[in-house]
Amino acid sequence: MAFEEQITELERRRAKARAMGSAKRLAAWAEAGILNARQRIDYLADPGTFTEWGLLAVSERAEDRHRTPGDGVVDGYAQIGGRPVVIHAAEFSAMGASSAAIASKKRQHSIENANKNGIPVVALNECSGARMPDIMGAQGIHAAAEKGALRRHRKVPWASAVLGQSFGGGTWLSVMSDFIVMRKGAIMAVSSTNVTSVAIAEDEDPEDLGGWRMQTEVSGQVDMAVDSDEEALDAIRRFLSYLPSNSAEAPPRLAVPAGSGADYEKLGEKILDLVPESRAKVYDVRKVIRLIVDQDSYFPIKERFSKVVSTCLARIDGRSVGIIATNPMFKGGAMDGDACDKIIGFLVLCDSFNIPVIHLVDTPGFLVGVVGERQKLPGKIMNYIQAMAMTTVPLLTVIMRKSYGQAHLNIGAVHADEMCSWYTGDISFVDPKISVSVVHKLKREDDPERYAELEQRFERGTSPYDLAEPFMIQDVIDPRETRSWLSRMLDLHDRRMVKGVGEHLMATWPTTF
């Protein structure tokens, strides 16, 4: 064959592959404003940086070769924000991006390249499930587990977007990730309603099975829900900006945005107006966080799940930090089993990728009673404190108001590198009111004068000064000094990590959700 014919044949094959699968399905998506796999990559990656692997791959089954361009996935190497990544994008127009042998080989090639070269994995997930009959039979199902495809060691960050129906392999890849964003209207579950209705006689609404409300508010498996493909891709780009390319690097440090110096001091003044003096009054701790961190750097993680705890990535003086803050706006800040899971997962993320952790504390303790026990709260409390013990990045704790009971020990009394309290801090075993009722079996309405006397007695020795005097905490600070105190402690403790890198004792911690 002459060179001209060979070139023509190559271009014909490339064009066919790039045209993807069902034209009817692609047209419907375009009309609905939904991007296809290649449009998603073009939007996410820096222009002109994507190099594809497996463009000309097709199904290993002869009868499906003509309708499986790329075997339903688009894989390659690109840059995001000037930093290299590998991208694995499902192409649902080709047999529903169903899991099959060649698609799995391409995905594994991407993941191996990411691990070998120390760069993040980005997965844009849709999947109709395992492709039958490819995976049927002993050899078909056994091959699905070859090469440790479902094993994760957190050497490089993984970020996933769920952008349509995602079952089986697309779900596994998502839940193994460090960050999952979901477009509203997408579904993530083990199996589709087509399978559940036949296999176990359940005919669930897909939204109830694995919609965005289910996954962000009930299960907590998804970190963020957004309205469009573009918002999901923007979230991935922003998430990666806080993280290093791999666990052997420090996170990138950015220039402090406009508003430094005196402007941040003015923001700090607002904390006094935001946080009530009375422990009985609530406030939204997320507003406090925004006054402390670099402007526009607040990036919430699992904001809809277990709202009693707010977790976020942010920056202080351009440095990436992870913040865990109990939020009195919800349940008074009392932590439950879901809160423990949320915190543990966040500690795993931060410790695996060298991000210092800050606790902001205002909590009456852990939830007690039947609900807590049914959530296996004792075991989760111990998992939480073990995770704190295994965290090797700098741990800083600021007590804002209440810090009671076992929660006080978990949040930092045992393992924090530096711990301070606002002068409004109140530290004890339980709230003095509870102490009066438990110890003396007395209610306020029974004898108001006696009750007040006993309450005052139980309040003795609970101030932050009672911890500062025996040097059980390192300082008592004005709330307006929070940002400057954290900044100085971060400057100090960054130096004890070799080149900003921790020990990663939780790199193999199992997925917590």
Q: What is the pLDDT of residues 411-442, one digit of tens each?
A: 877 789 999 999 999 888 655 555 444 444 54
In angstroms, the Cα distances linking 286 to 19, 92, 152, 293 are 46, 38, 32, 11
Any idea which residue has 């998992």 for tokens?
Answer: 383
Percent share of the chain, pLDDT over 70: 81
Residue-wise burial string across 148-173, b where 16 or more C-beta atoms lie within 10 A, e elsewhere: ebeebebbbbbbbbbbbbbbbbbbbb
d(CA 383, CA 340): 8
pTM summary value: 0.89
Q: What is the pLDDT of residues 389-411, one digit of tens each?
A: 999 999 999 999 999 888 888 88
Q: What is the pLDDT of residues 93-107, one digit of tens each?
A: 766 666 666 778 888
Q: What is the pLDDT of residues 293-303, one digit of tens each?
A: 999 999 999 99
Q: What pLDDT shows up at residue 199?
A: 39
Helical pair 377-390 and 337-352, crossing angle rounded to 10 deg: 20
Q: What is the pLDDT of residues 61-95, one digit of tens each?
A: 666 666 677 677 899 999 999 999 999 998 877 66
Q: What is the pLDDT of residues 359-389, one digit of tens each?
A: 999 998 888 778 888 888 999 999 999 999 9
Eight-state DSSP code of residue 84: E
Any idea which residue has 């423990």 for tokens?
Answer: 340
